[in-house]
A = this chain, B = another copy of it.
Amino acid sequence: MTDPGELQGPPTAPATIRRVTVIGCGLIGTSVALALRRVGIRVELTDDDPRSLLGAVRMGAGLALSSGGPPADVVVIATPPSTVAGVLHAAQARELGQVYTDVASTKARILTEAESIGCDLTSYVPGHPMAGRELSGPGAAHADLFAGRQWPLCPHPAMSPQAMRTVAGLVTACGGEVALLAADAHDRIAAAVSHAPHVVAAALAATFAGADPATLSLVGKGLWDVTRVAGGSPDLWCDILHQNAEPVAELLDAVARDIAGIATALRVSGPVEKVTELLVRGNEGRGLIVGAHPAGAARGGRIAA
C-alpha cells in the first residue's frame, strides 16, 4: 500500500494562514500547533490549566497568547466537546480570530448550542481530526499525528465559503485529509467507528479490574488489542459519549443484545446456529473493516486463541 503522504509531498502552509491561535493544549491541540509550526505558521497557545500551557510551550508548539494582538487567521478550539460552544462564543467576543474551527469528536450538538447562545456561525467551521492516542496531554502530542488521517469538516448553511477554504487549508497544512460531512452524519459515523467501540472496549477491560496474577499471566496480544482504546481519559470520553448520546446508545443496545444473546445460547446449550450466526456477522463486519483500512490489513497480527 502506498502512503497517501508519499504522493503529496510534505504539507505546506496555505497563503491565507500566517497566524493561528490554539485554545486548549491537550494531545490534539498541541499536536495541531506542532504540525502548524512545522510548516512555518506562527502559533499562539492558551489553556485554563497553566501546566498544560507550559508543557505545550516547552515542546515548541508556540508562544503563550498575548492580549491585544491582531486577530489570528484561524482560531482552533481544542477543548472538551461540552465546552466548545461557550469557548467559541467567548473567543468571538474577544475578536480572537477571523475564522474558527474546533477538533471535538462530536459535531451536531455543538453546532446547535453555538447557534442558540448566539455565536457568529458564518466564521465557524466544525471539524474533527480522526486521530488520537490512548495517551493524553501535551507531552503525548506530535507533529505528524494527523498525517494521512481523515479530518471531517461539517459544512452548515450559515458558514461562509471563505471560512471553509481557510480551515480546509489548515487541515492540509497539518497533513490531514479533508472529508466533508453533515454534522448529523458525522456523529452517526463517529458513534460507529469510535464512540461505541470505546465503551465496548472499556466494558471488556473492566472485567480485568482486580484481576488475579494467574489470570494476568495468560494475557496475550488478542486481549491487548481488543482493550487498547480503553486507556483513554474517562472524563473526556464521558463528555464525548454524552454529547453523542442517541447514536451511541443505539449501537450499544444492539451490541449488548448480541452479547447477552450468546450468553443465553451458551447456557441452554441451544442450537449452535445462534452462536455461529453472530460469529459469521462478525466475520463479515471485520472483512469490511479490514478492507477499509489497508494499512491495518497489511499487518499480520497474532492473537491469543
Query: Which residues in A have some Cβ–Cβ distance to B below 8 Å?
Result: 28, 105, 130-135, 145, 149-150, 152, 179, 181, 185, 188-190, 192-194, 196-211, 214-232, 234-235, 237-238, 241-242, 245-246, 248-260, 262-264, 266-267, 269, 272, 275-276, 278-293, 295-296, 300-305
Q: How many copies does the complex hold?
A: 2
Within the assembled complex, what's the spacing in Å between the Cα atoms of A293 and B215?
12
User: Are A276 and B218 touching (Cβ within 8 A)?
Assistant: no
Chain A interface helix/strand/loop/mixed: helix
Are A203 and B301 in contact, CB atoms less than 8 angstroms apart? no
A234 touches B276 (CB 8 A): yes
Using A237-B279, A288-B216 as known contacts, say yes or no to A197 and B204 having CB atoms under 8 A apart.
yes
Residue of B nearest to A284 (CB): B209
Contacts of A145 in B (CB 8 A): 302
Q: Which residues of B contact A234 (CB under 8 A)?
A: 276, 279-280, 282-283
A218 to chain B, nearest CB (A): 5
The 7 closest A-B pairs by CB, nearest first: A132-B305, A202-B282, A208-B285, A234-B279, A216-B292, A205-B285, A206-B281
Given known contacts A215-B192, A249-B266, A292-B216, A229 and B226 CB-to-CB distance under 8 angstroms: yes
